[in-house]
A = this chain, B = another copy of it.
Amino acid sequence: MVTGKLSLISIGLFDESDLTLKGLEEAKKADRVFIELYTSKWHGNLKNLEKLVGKKVEILSRKDLEEESYKLLEQAKTRNIAIFVQGSALVQTTHLALLQEARKLNIKTRVVHNASIISAISETGLHPQKFGPYVTIPFPEKTKGKLPESVYEVIKMNKARGLHTLCLLDVEDSKCMTAKEGISILLELEDRRKEEVFTRATEVVVFAKAGSENPLIFYSRVEDILKMDLKEIPAVLIIPGILHFTEKEYLSLFKSEYNRKI
């Protein structure tokens, strides 16, 4: 008899104060509470989160969630298990796979949604309905030095339709790719393909520390960004397509905006 439950609780973009009341309530009701911290850089404090929930919050490794997820599912058959996940749950396919397995086992499931960078990008003034599919720029180590051609393809196709492209930057064991590292990879791709999709003259938007009190939004040409000291994480890159005049006007606010507190 399956009496347990698996809840995936999104913790939002930045720190523990991004948690929703619903998410907090769900965690309080759980018998065991876990958190995964390896898929993004979380700026929160685990001790504070534990205080809010009123119980221990155990850290899950990639291995716990991927290779050994059966252990979590085994527990969820009879107990109420909650897992805090970064950003919006299920945007990562790992979490989706876990949920699917739970459903197959007739375990009750619950998803608590939260902010995601996919919608938070509207803070840049770019209209969300004008974004094409997004991409993730992987660390070169992951692709064994091979350039991520598919990323270039998506940007190129979005551009052809006048659409914006959100480029997520890879995270590996809490190490986040910086905006400048992402740009370098795109420039390498351009050097190879030479289709004028992403050059030093391309204007891009860097959006870092989304959800924090001091988000950074910076709009400039690639060559200018390369000259700057830009280490803020987590960050994303946006390559605008055809700009509506209201988008242009809004983005102009961020042309000289670096280091200005919003």
A interface residues, Cβ below 8 angstroms from B: 10, 12-13, 16-22, 24-25, 52, 88-91, 93, 96-97, 100, 103, 109-111, 113-116, 118-120, 122-123, 125, 127-136, 157, 161, 163, 210-211, 213, 215, 246, 249-250, 253, 262
Beta-carbon contact of A10 and B129 below 8 Å: no
In Å, the complex CA distance between A211 and B111 comes to 8
Total copies of the chain: 2
Q: Which of B93, B100, B113, B116 contacts A127, CB < 8 Å?
A: B93
What residues of chain B lie closer than 8 Å to A213, measured between beta carbons? 110
Name the CB-closest residue of B to A16. Answer: B21
Q: SS class of chain A's interface: helix, strand, loop or mixed?
A: mixed
Q: Which of B12, B119, B210 contacts A118, CB < 8 Å?
A: B119
Known: A12-B114, A13-B113, A20-B114. 8 other contacts (CB 8 A): A88-B120, A88-B122, A97-B246, A109-B262, A113-B115, A115-B119, A116-B119, A118-B119
